[in-house]
Amino acid sequence: MNAHLFAPELVLLAGCLLAFGMTLTACRPQSLRLVALGVGAAFAVACFVSLSATGELFYGAYRVDLFSQLVKCALATGFTLLTLFGADVRGVSVRMRAEYYLFLLTALLGLTLLSSSVELITLFVALELSSYSLYLLVPMRTPSESLRLPMEAAVKYLLFGVTASGIMLFGMSWIFGLTGTTYLAKALPVMHAAGVQVTAAIALCMLLCGMFFKLAVFPFHFWAPDVYQGASNDTTAFISSLPKVAAVAVLARFCALAEPGPGPLVWLLTALSIASMCYGNLVALVQTDVKRMLGFSGIAHAGYILLGMVTLQSWGFGTALYYATGYLFMMLAAFLVLCAVAPQGENPAVRDLNGLAGRSPLLAFVLGVSMFALAGIPPFVGFMGKFLLLTGAWKAGHSVLVVIAAINTAIGIYYYLQVVRAAYTEAAPAEAAAPAPAVGTRLAGICLVGLVVALGVAPERMVQLAMEAVQSIW
């Protein structure tokens, strides 16, 4: 085996083993956070160094190419910044903080393996590794209000996840029955055969259920608002961002199995995109809890991502990957502020952000940038991502879908700007304390703002890289 192709994964695996060993000792949680931060930084370096690496491992079940390496770079950057600003993990019980960082690393390892898996069994194992790590992170929250909130969210997350995995596994069995192989590249020509197109479309729909769950696509969305609200702020920051990028990568690989052109899969993706955008935006309008609002908005953004998938073309997959990467940084920027303004790890409401500009100008600026970007206002990455997705879908002939997406984008502006209005125009409560972000939080905030702005102002290189990466899927 060419070990250098597996270098990023080896770094992560070594970090997981080190974290596991430290949980068996009486180590301080702060020490393990530094280990997680160091592993994240080393993982990021290994990913960027091996960006151009290509090859296959484990008898062709694991493929290293520009597509998978680009996804790993996004995951590594996001995880490092998350670990940098999540210094205190205030919402997690002190006695569980060592295990908390261990499961963060194993979840990241699962997402990393997911991005390179091109064989169904390998892909399923990687998906479950990341999923079960996240299932365990949710109930670790300190029950400040009541024990019911985090535990209810954890149970709901687990039940919906297991159900989606079961449907996905059933779809895998159909694909194996149709093609006689679990390797996606070998299954491709058989899936395009004229005699099995309808059956293959049904199998693909079942196979996509696992990715729809990760993306919180309607009607696989029921877990998202409750988990966002019930999990700790740092855990929600991870769940809302990193798995989305890996899910888009796998979704692109699955959709590439379909025959381009109108068909059952296109109709399904179109219907789910419309339902996700309309439901997510309309329900988010009435939310007062910021995390729950972001949960419903995440459902809407999953609908936007499907705009790229519905084209079943490489340029559609590329723009979806670009948008998912931008969404990763936008959400991390938003949750950086929520973590900083919640001294005891509580869920901030919109009114808790009143007067934030006077109390902490830097946090208010980071929050404003993230909200403007999520709303799709130029010059941020959210605008450019939506623009590319809409124009791509329009060129593919999905004009009705584009009009509905544009209307939903306008609806989303209202509740995003409501948060900005609270931070900049409302008076701060008399008892409100001025947040004092740590040095790591300030540094992470500046980096996230820079990434959100840079990807929006100068998207050419990233979009071109995403297009080239998608070409290497097969």
Among candidates 38, 35, 26, which has minimal Cα distance to 102?
Answer: 35
Integer angstrom CA distances of residue 64 from 61, 108, 162, 204, 453:
10, 17, 28, 23, 30
- Give residue-wise pLDDT tens across range 118-127: 888 998 999 8
Which of the two residues, 439 and 443, has the higher pLDDT score? Answer: 443
- Give residue-wise pLDDT tens across range 105-114: 999 999 999 9
Structure tokens of 5? 């192709």
SS (H, E, C) 272-328: HHHHHHHHHHHHHCCCCEHHHHHHHHHHHHHHHHHHHHCCCCHHHHHHHHHHHHHHH
pLDDT interval class at 25 (50, 70, 90): confident
Q: Which residues contact 347 (CB under 8 A, 6 or more apart)?
A: 229, 233, 289, 290, 291, 292
Among candidates 103, 104, 112, which has minimal Cα distance to 83?
Answer: 104
Q: What does the pLDDT average to over 234-248?
A: 89
Q: Which residues contact 446 (CB under 8 A, 6 or more apart)?
A: none
Q: Are 474 and 252 in contact (CB under 8 A)?
A: no
Q: What's residue 352's pLDDT?
A: 82
Distance from C-alpha of 413 to C-alpha of 227, rounded to nearest angstrom: 24
Q: Are 470 and 318 in contact (CB under 8 A)?
A: yes
Among candidates 301, 204, 314, 248, which has minimal Cα distance to 68?
Answer: 248
| 218-256 b/e (C-beta count within 10 Å ≥ 16 → b) | bebbbbbbbbbbbbbbbbbbbbbbbbbbbbbbbbbbbbb
Mean pLDDT of the chain: 84
- Give residue-wise pLDDT tens across range 374-392: 988 888 898 998 999 999 8
State the pTM of this model.
0.91
Q: What's residue 146's pLDDT?
A: 44
Residue 231 pLDDT more than 70?
Answer: yes
Q: Are 134 and 164 in contact (CB under 8 A)?
A: no
Domain boundaries, the chain: 3-472
